[in-house]
Structures are given as structure tokens and as C-alpha cells.
Amino acid sequence: MEYSKLRYKEILALIERVEREAAELILQAHGILAEAKTGKRDVVTEYDRRVQELLMERFRDALPEAHFFCEEMDEQDRLDAEQLFIIDPIDGTMNFVHGFHHSCISVAYAERGIVRIGAVYNPYVDEMFTAVAGHGSSLNGRPIHVSDAGLSEGIVCFGSAPYNPELSDRTFGLARTLYDASLDVRREGSAALDLCSVAAGRAGLYFELRVSLWDYAAGALIAEEAGGQCCTADGGCFPADGSKTSILAGSPAAVKDFFRLTAES
Ligand code: IPD
Ligand code: CA
């Protein structure tokens, strides 16, 4: 136990160091050109690719056996690998392209399908959110905890599941319901940072009806290790095969209020 704790701390330190190095590419980016992937809302830039390449190169140097499950990769490695990095090189690419300074680098480290470490770095405000399974979450080295407040006393973040227009009516219907039931809603444009906002007690709840594993793997561990609850929007477990899913994360009080409210409507 103590051995793995030490080893996880070393891997976390590696991830933090490499994220900070790669963040320079984001901060110094210029002439950013968006290329459409599956549609006009699903975009990639040369910076997404360069950040991912740098992260993979550094992680491979340190852990040559490691496998990868990354957003800008044509084929993902096996999820149940002995050592796996789950990487979103720029979460919030649309923000990045349009100069909204709210994006991050998200890295999770998993062993045999279980996420052990998460690190989400927002270079614009120099905020490093981290967690090691079983050892709590931190923001720039200081412990963080979800809010104690119920849904009515907090802010709700949501994602619009932008690549799935068939979910828009349900998404905005739910956002409207939660707007009425809370203090206000936010659509900030980065699922990983939304999860960290829950972890830090800034938001009481976050939901999105379709996300990918790289969007939430690190952030969900950070939210859970900060005392939060994470599940699918209907209260289920996330798919073990890493396929796309809905997500709900929040303080225990806000999650309870969410299910009471949605059961009524
Ligand atoms: C997206 C962001 C966005 C969320 C989408 C994600 P990307 O990730 O996290 O907030 O609504 O579902 O795909 O494409 O910027 O890496
Ligand atoms: Ca993402």
C-alpha cells in the first residue's frame, strides 16, 4: 500500500511536470486554425495534436510499457492495460479557438481499468487540480472539498453535448429545470474543468448528456476524491468499455436533490 502510494505520487509529479511543459504551447499559441472533425462544433487544431504528442512522448520515456487512450488518436489502446494514460490534450477546444481563456489539459492514469490518478491543469489561471485514489483532491497542493450545500444554494454547470444535437432539447430542458431549482446555471465549455469546479465547491452540480472518457476520467476522480458523487444522468455506473456516456457529478446533497427533482418532473 505504502509502496503504491509512493509510486502514484511519483507518477502524479511526472504528469504535473509534463502538463506544465505542454501548457506553454497553449499559452504561446497564435494563428489558431480550427479543422472540423465530425461537424462544425467538433474541432481540432494543430495545438491539440502537438500537446498530445508532447505528453505521449514524455510519458513513454518515463513509462515505456504504458498504453494510451487519447482524444486525438485514430485508434485507442486497450482500456484494461496494466498502465494507461487517458488524455485530453485540450479540453475546451472551442474556447481555445475563440480566445475564451477557459481550457485545460486533462490526464488520468489507470491500471487495469481503474483510474488511480487525475490531473487537470488550467494554464490561463495556473490552477492544477489533482487527485490520487484514496488520498483526496487538491488545488495547487491544497486540499479541496465539494460544497455542503443543496441544489438550491449552489450554481449548476452543464455541458451542451455539442456533437449530439439530438440531445439538445433534453439538455436545455434539464438546464431550465435546474436553473429554476438552483442559484444559476453556467455553460463554460470544458467538461474536465466543470468537474473540478464541483470538486472545489464552486459549483454544486454538473451534468452533460454525452461525454467521452477523456473528457471526464481525470475530473471524475478529482470530484469523487473531493467528496463528490459521479454517475450517469440516470444514476448508473459509467460504461466499463470506455464508450460515450452521460454524466452527473455533484455534492451528495445536490445529487440527492437532482434525483428527487427529476423523479417529480
Ligand atoms: C468538449 C468540452 C465541452 C463538452 C463536450 C466536450 P473538447 O471537449 O469538454 O465542454 O461540452 O462534450 O467534448 O472537444 O473541447 O475536448
Ligand atoms: Ca474534451
pLDDT reading at 188 higher than 80: yes
Whether residues 139 and 155 share a domain: the answer is no
Show the domain range for 226: 151-264
> CB of 189 closer than 6 A to ligand 1?
yes
* The ligand 1 atom nearest the CA atom of 96: 15
254 touches 151 (CB < 8 A): yes
* The ligand 1 atom nearest the CA atom of 48: 16
Whether residues 140 and 202 share a domain: the answer is no
pLDDT recorded at residue 237: 98
Whether residues 99 and 214 share a domain: the answer is no
pLDDT reading at 9 higher than 90: yes
From 144, 169, 193, give the residue that closes a domain: 144
> CB of 150 closer than 6 A to ligand 1?
no
pLDDT recorded at residue 91: 98
Average pLDDT over residues 52-76: 94
Whether residues 44 and 7 share a domain: the answer is yes
The chain-wide mean pLDDT, for the chain, equals 95
Whether residues 117 and 156 share a domain: the answer is no
Whether residues 161 and 131 share a domain: the answer is no
Whether residues 73 and 175 share a domain: the answer is no
From 144, 175, 209, give the residue that closes a domain: 144
> CB of 208 closer than 6 A to ligand 1?
yes
Whether residues 90 and 167 share a domain: the answer is no
Average pLDDT over residues 187-203: 98
Whether residues 65 and 163 share a domain: the answer is no
pLDDT recorded at residue 116: 97
% the chain with pLDDT above 90? 91
Calculate how far, in angstroms, residue 160's C-alpha sits from the geometric centre of ligand 1. 9
What are the pLDDT digits (tens) for 237-261?
999 999 999 999 999 999 999 999 9
Total domains in the fold of the chain: 2
208 touches 91 (CB < 8 A): no
> CB of 89 closer than 6 A to ligand 1?
no
Q: What is the CATH number of the domain that holds 36?
A: 3.30.540.10
Q: What is the CATH number of the domain that holds 227?
A: 3.40.190.80
pLDDT reading at 154 higher than 80: yes
Pocket mutation for ligand 1, best pick of 91, 172, 194, 195 (most atoms within 8 Å of C-beta): 91
Buried b (16+ CB within 10 A) or exposed e, 228-263: bbbbebeeeebeeebeebbbbbbbebbbebbeebbe
User: What is the reported pTM?
Assistant: 0.97
Average pLDDT over residues 103-114: 97
Q: Distance between CA atoms of 170 and 181, rounded to whole angstroms?
A: 16
Whether residues 13 and 124 share a domain: the answer is yes
pLDDT reading at 166 higher than 80: yes
Whether residues 93 and 166 share a domain: the answer is no
> CB of 196 closer than 6 A to ligand 1?
no
pLDDT recorded at residue 37: 87
> CB of 93 closer than 6 A to ligand 1?
yes
> CB of 229 closer than 6 A to ligand 1?
no
Average pLDDT over residues 47-65: 97
Whether residues 202 and 132 share a domain: the answer is no
From 115, 144, 173, give the residue that closes a domain: 144
